[in-house]
Structure 1
Amino acid sequence: MQHRLRLLPALLGVLLSATAHAADPQYFPLSRGVTPAAIALLDDGRLWYVSAGTGSLGRLDPQSGQDEQVSLGKGSLPRAVIAGADGSAWVADSGLNAIVRVDPERLGTEVIRLPDNAPDAGLDSIVQDDDDEIWFTGENGYFGRLDPDSRQLQVWQAPGGKGPHGLAVTPDGQVWYASSDDNSINHIDTLSGSVTRYPLPVANSGPLQLGADSIGRLWISQSGNGQLSRFDPSDGSWQHWPLPGAQAQPCAIFVDSMDRVWLSDIAGNAILRFDPQSARFTSYPSDRADARVRQLTGRPGAVWGAESGTDRLLVIRE
């Protein structure tokens, strides 16, 4: 494990200028080639981010510009990260085929490798449920669970084969994942690991990421047909809204505390906010081409994303 500390002059310039309007994106430049893939927010205002380009984990203080880097090991390809209750980082690392924990104090790494029956899972997404169990998906046809205390790890083959991507936990603790290849969203029985499949009503929708609102409805970004959809598990009903733009390619999704839906449009090079009450989209385009935001997260009043194509993090504050 190696780590280093630096201050980002470009970031400090952004902070000092303070010229952006409240709802305009603010950008936090990182080192060239970092290729940030995902963000996890910490209670003290700092954030973790994973660097697919360098196989490392970063911890950024947006106020001071302090940026610490932790190498995750040779062959690392981190894809997703969450923050534990103690401030630790839990990383889904596709290259290492492992879940990696990074200690928040000494920045030491612990590599928890997947078992031999999942030799190349293609780790993609990670969440933590209400019982603090960590769930993850592998796009090569797997999903699994890790007990963060005992480090006991279980992996199951996804019944639909390849395609598991985004995960969501509903307010009542239900765990779901989207599967793009078999065009479904899937409910995991957290006791047995069994899966109930819910096919999307339109073929080749390409469900990619999931978000849950305050009453447990699932919001789905559909990269295959450029739509945002909502599924209500209570009655099995679906609703659909096409994104603006003929070639829209929705990817990342986040449902905020007001039940508004934020999603990225890769082809449109923008973050979109969808208001379910008015059924209207508001666009926040990037000021650089090919931003490629593949993950969003947030807290009340702020939505964060990682521009993998521009080596920047961004926040939209309201």
Structure 2
Amino acid sequence: MARLMFLLAGVLLAGCTSLGPAPPVPSPTPAPNTVTAIKLPDGSFPRSPFVAPDGSVWCSETSGEALGRIDQNGAVTHVRIPGNNNSPAGIVHGPDGLIWFAGFQMIGRVSATGTVTGWRSADVGLPNAIAAGQDNAVWYTNEKLPPAISRITASGAIQHRTLQTTDPLIKLPGLTAGPDQALWFTVTSNARGATHAVGRMPVDGSSYRLFPLPAESGPGTIVAGSDDALWFTTGRGIGRMSTTGDFTEHPVPGDARPLDIATGPDGSLWFTTDQSRIGRITTSGRITMHDTTGAKSLTGGLAVSPDGTLWITDGPGNTVWRYSPMR
């Protein structure tokens, strides 16, 4: 009988919910942003982070003449580059399964045992940005005169696809493998009336095409987005270009200047700015900004792990920041 009365009371209470709204259910308190500083030796000035397939994070130690490697437990090791004035920069995973990097008048790679080999000659030129192509080769932008988009194989064979320009101040700061089996790159210059553009070159190197951008747009790093378009930083915001050359630009709030950009595992893109803030932009163009604490400068570069963790190099602080932001 007591059980029957209990069930009847439950039915009556259920029927009385129309008498007024249910009390609000409190939302769970969001977890705070997680920021971890991984210190490198003084004077290393890290830049160009890269997440390797094994989950380790590499960065170039520009002043330290080395590459740093952070394993999944946060332990740091250093791979010394032979010689001096190497100025290591961009890092990629090559078609031979090794780590490749660009430096001053050199292209190098690191063996599985940590030995650095490479190519350092006049034929290498002046590498800047570097990317792995879909043709089992490594490509890099070459700021020699005249500038070129260059290709190097695992055996060291180098070919240059020269760009037609007489601008001595031309820069080629960005390069990526596109969604259309081609290499995409950015072109900028400080010369008056210079061309600012996004370029496309098929992997056979037979031709190239430049898609002009607004004057003084200053394109920088470039990546392939999850929407089969190319995304890149400009002096004023984040640019998007379709593979047919349609261009749109999204201004960044607060007059922040974007510096580096990377694609996240959720399809959005993340970027650093000159205000030591991190930005996230969806492929629909919605931007949110995230403050960071403790970083001196975020000008060194940005990489994103498959789990959504951001790795940001802080050159002046000799630090790599591991950042797990709230969305």
Give 2:203's aligned residue. Answer: 190
What is the RMSD of the two structures over their aligned residues, measured on CA atoms? 2.3
Superposed CA offset, 1:135-166 (max 9, x none): 10134533201112x32111233334521111
Give structure 1 stretches of 5+ with no counterpart: 1-19
How many aligned positions are there? 286
Give 1:125's aligned residue. Answer: 129
What are the equivalent positions in structure 2 for 1:1-318 lying under 5 Å apart? 21=31, 23-84=33-94, 87-94=97-104, 97-105=105-113, 107-116=114-123, 119=125, 121=126, 123-140=127-144, 141-148=147-154, 150-160=155-165, 161=167, 162-181=170-189, 182-200=195-213, 202-223=214-235, 226-234=236-244, 236-246=245-255, 248-266=256-274, 268-277=275-284, 279-317=286-324
For normalisation by structure 1, the TM-score amounts to: 0.82
How far apart are the structure 2 equivalents of 1:193 and 1:308? 39
How far apart are the structure 1 equivalents of 2:305 and 2:141? 21
Larger proportion of strand = 1
How far apart are the structure 1 equivalents of 2:305 and 2:312? 8
How far apart are the structure 1 equivalents of 2:163 and 2:248? 26
Letter in 1 for 2:204: L
Q: Give structure 1 regions of 4+ aligned residues with deviation exceeding 6 angstroms.
A: none
How far apart are the structure 1 equivalents of 2:163 and 2:304? 26
Letter in 2 for 1:93: G
Cα 1:22–1:155 change in 2 (3 A) is: farther
Offset at residue 64 of structure 1 (A): 4.7
Cα 1:22–1:73 change in 2 (3 A) is: farther
Letter in 1 for 2:129: S
Contact 2:59 2:69 (8 Å CA) reproduced: yes
Give structure 2 stretches of 5+ with no counterpart: 1-29, 190-194
Superposed CA offset, 1:22-70 (max 9, x none): 6433221111111111122223322222110111112222405242332
Offset at residue 113 of structure 1 (A): 2.7
Superposed CA offset, 1:181-232 (max 9, x none): 22101001211352200011x2100001111112321111002xx2111111
55-64 or 211-220, larger mean C-alpha shift: 55-64
Identical columns (%): 21
